[in-house]
Amino acid sequence: MTYFDACAFIGRWPGEKLAFDSVDGLLSNMRRLEIDRALVTHTLAWQNSPALGNRLLMEAISGHPELEPCWVVTPGLQVEDLGGEVAFCEQMAQNGVRAVRLYPREHVFSLNDGPTEKLLSELDRRNYLVVIDLDQIFTQSGLYDYSAASLDVLDTLCRTYPQLSILLTRVGYRAFHILMPMMQTNPNLFLDLSFFATHQGVEAVTERLGENRLLFGTGQPFVDAGGAMLRLVKAGIPQEAIRRIASKNLEQLLDRVKVAPLPGMHKEASVQIITQSADLSTERIPQDIEITDAHVHMGPYHKFYIPQNSAEDMLRVMDHLSIARSCISSHLAISGDWYTGNRLTAQAVQQYPDRFIGYVVVSPNEPELAEDEMRRAFDEWGFKGIKLVPDTHLQPIGGPGYQPVFEFASKRDAFVLVHTYHSSHFDDPQLFGEVAGRYPDVPILMVHSGALPAGFNGAIDLVKKHPNLYLDISGSFITGEWIRRMVLMAGADRVLYSSDQPFIDPRYSLGRLLFAGLSKQDLSLVLGGNIRRLLGLAGVS
C-alpha cells in the first residue's frame, strides 16, 4: 500500500522545538512510518513571507521527487508584487506546484473580498487544490467555545468556485456536525486525517459519502503522524477504501490541476522510498501487552456531535483496537449533571463489568453530597477512582469544595484524576503542586498534562517534584516526541495511556504512543501497567 501525506511541513517553529525541521528529518520520519510521498509546506511561507518560504521550500526539496511542493499565497498586494494572479499561477506551473495553502486568519485577509476573489477565480480556472487549516476559519470564542457562523464562508467558497478542490486539514472534532452537511452539498470539499478526531468519523464519512472525500494527511511535525497512520490502517472500512484514502484520492485531486508534469516530479515520483510491511495494522498493536485505557467517557456531548457514543459502540471500537478495559465517566457526569451522570456510568459498569471500570464525579459546588456519593460509588457500584472537572464546576482545584474528595481519597487509598488546561484559572497544572503536597498519599492524574504544549514542561516538572502526580497523554496536542520526553524526564511509571474516547477517537492517542519508539518495558507500563497498579487491578489474563 502507498501512503501519500497531504499535510507535512519543514522549517523551524518559534513556539517550541519540533521533532524535526529539515527535509532530512521529514524523510527520516516518513521512512519510520512507512510513508512514501508527502505534500510539503515551508513554515516560513506561513510565519514570515510566502515568497521567501516558497523559495526555500523549492531549494530544500530539490532532488527529492517523493516530496511535492504546496505553496502559501496571500491575495492582494503580495500577489500584485509577483505580477498578478495569472503571473503567479504561471510561476507555480513552471515549478510544478499543484497545491496552495491559505492562512486567512493569520495573514489577515477576507475569503470573500475583491483581491481574494481574483486569486481564487484564477485558481478555479486551473482546478487547483486549495488547502486550509480549519482553525483559520473556525474561530474560537472562549476557552472551549467556537463560532459556527465563521464556517459560512467555507460553504460560500465551495459554491462559488466549484472547480477548486478544497481540503480542510487538522479538522479536530468540534465542527463535524457542521462539516458533514456541507460536504453532502459540496462535492469539492474534502477532509484530511491529520487530526480528524471525531469518534468513528472516518467510518461515518465513508458510509454517507463514500471513500473519495477523505485524504491521508499527518500534519507532521505539528501533529503526530502516528495518530493519522493508526487512524487509517485500523479504520473500520473496507481495505480498498483504506487504499484510496492512503494515496489515490490525493493523486486524483492533484492530477486535475492544469499543470504539466515536470521531469522528476508528480507521477514519475511515485516510486516507493521504502519497502512496505505486509500488514502494518496488526504489527503496530501489540497482542502481548494488555491495554487499559485510563480515561474515557460515554454518551452524547452538548458542544458537538459524537457518532456511535454508546457503551456498546465504544466496546466495538475497543475490540477492534485490542483494548481490554477502559476507565469511564459519562459525558453527562462531567458536564450538565454529575449526579445523574454517575448513574449512567454505573449502568455501563454493571452491564460490562469485565470491560469498564467506573470513575465517580462529584461537584465542589455541592460538597455536602460528595462523601455519600463517593461511598456509594466505591462500596455499591465497585468504582475505582474519582474524576474532577474544575473547568466545568468553575472552582479552582485547591479550593475548599474539593476537600471532601481528597480526604475521602486519602482514607480509602483512592485514585483521583483531574482535567487540566494550561492557563485555566481552575485547573492549570501549576495549581497542582500545593494540592499534591497537602495530600501526598493521594495519587493524582493530571488529565491532558495541561492540554497545550506551553503547559507540558511545567506538568513534567511538577511530576518530578511530587511522587503522587502523574501525566496523561490524551488531548489534541500531545505528540510522540512529547511522550518520549515525558517518559525520559518523569519516568515510564509516571505516564498513563488514555484516549478520551469518544470525545476523541482513540486511534489518535494510541497511534502516537505506539509509534513513539518506546521500549517494550516502558510501553507495557504506559499502556496499562501503571493504571492497573494505581487502581489495584490484576491483569485480565
- Note the CATH architecture for domain 4-269: Alpha-Beta Barrel (3.20)
Other C-beta atoms closer than 10 Å to the C-beta of 224 total 30
Helical pair 367-379 and 338-351, crossing angle rounded to 10 deg: 0
CA–CA separation, 219 and 217 (whole Å): 6
pLDDT reported for residue 261: 75
268's grid cell? 514519475
Show Cβ contacts of residue 319 under 8 Å, excluding neighbours closer than 6 positions.
none
CA–CA separation, 86 and 79 (whole Å): 9
Please name the residue that has the C-alpha cell 475521602: 408
For residue range 402-455, list pLDDT tens digits in order.
Answer: 999 999 999 999 999 999 999 999 999 999 999 999 999 999 999 999 999 999
- Sheet containing 385-388, strands listed edge to edge, beginning at the edge strand earlier in sequence: 291-296, 323-328, 356-361, 385-388, 415-419, 444-447, 469-472, 495-496
Number of H helices, E strands in the chain: 25, 17
Say whether the peptide bond before residue 221 is cis (omega within 30 degrees of 0).
yes
Please name the residue that has the C-alpha cell 456510568: 345
**What is the overall mean pLDDT for the chain?**
94
Please name the residue that has the C-alpha cell 482535567: 419
Cβ contact 490:463 at 8 Å: yes
The stretch 497-516 carries a mean pLDDT of 97
- Bridge partners (DSSP) listed for residue 495: 471
Show Cβ contacts of residue 443 under 8 Å, excluding neighbours closer than 6 positions.
415, 416, 468, 470, 534
pLDDT reported for residue 514: 96
The stretch 386-407 carries a mean pLDDT of 98
Please name the residue that has the C-alpha cell 487540566: 420
For residue range 138-181, list pLDDT tens digits in order.
Answer: 876 666 677 777 899 999 999 999 999 999 999 999 999 999 99
Other C-beta atoms closer than 10 Å to the C-beta of 116 total 19
Q: How confident is the model at residue 541 (pLDDT cuts 50, 70, 90)?
A: low
End-to-end CA distance of the chain: 35
φ/ψ of residue 100, rounded to 5: -130, 155
For residue range 60-102, list pLDDT tens digits in order.
Answer: 999 999 999 999 999 999 999 999 999 999 999 999 999 999 9
Tell me: pLDDT of 522 over 70. Answer: yes
The stretch 314-331 carries a mean pLDDT of 98
Helix (H) or strand (E) holding 217: none
DSSP 254-276: HHHSS-PPPTTSGGGG-S-SSPP
φ/ψ of residue 455, rounded to 5: -100, -10
CATH number assigned to the domain covering 285-535: 3.20.20.140
Cβ contact 2:212 at 8 Å: no
Output helix, strand, coil percentages for the chain, rounded to the nearest 5. 45, 15, 40
Q: Of 183, 225, 233, give the one whose Cα is nearest residue 204.
A: 183
Cβ contact 163:185 at 8 Å: no
pLDDT reported for residue 538: 83
φ/ψ of residue 377, rounded to 5: -60, -45
DSSP state of 295: E
Helix (H) or strand (E) holding 132: strand 129-133
pTM here is 0.94
Q: How confident is the model at residue 267 (pLDDT cuts 50, 70, 90)?
A: low
Cβ contact 420:446 at 8 Å: yes
For residue range 203-212, list pLDDT tens digits in order.
Answer: 999 999 999 9
Q: What is the largest CA-CA distance in the chain?
A: 75
Amino acid, single-letter form, for residue 307: P
pLDDT reported for residue 148: 78
pLDDT reported for residue 266: 59
Q: What residue ranges of the chain are covered by domains with CATH 3.20.20.140?
A: 4-269, 285-535
Q: Of 232, 341, 211, 286, give the one whose Cα is nearest residue 5.
A: 232
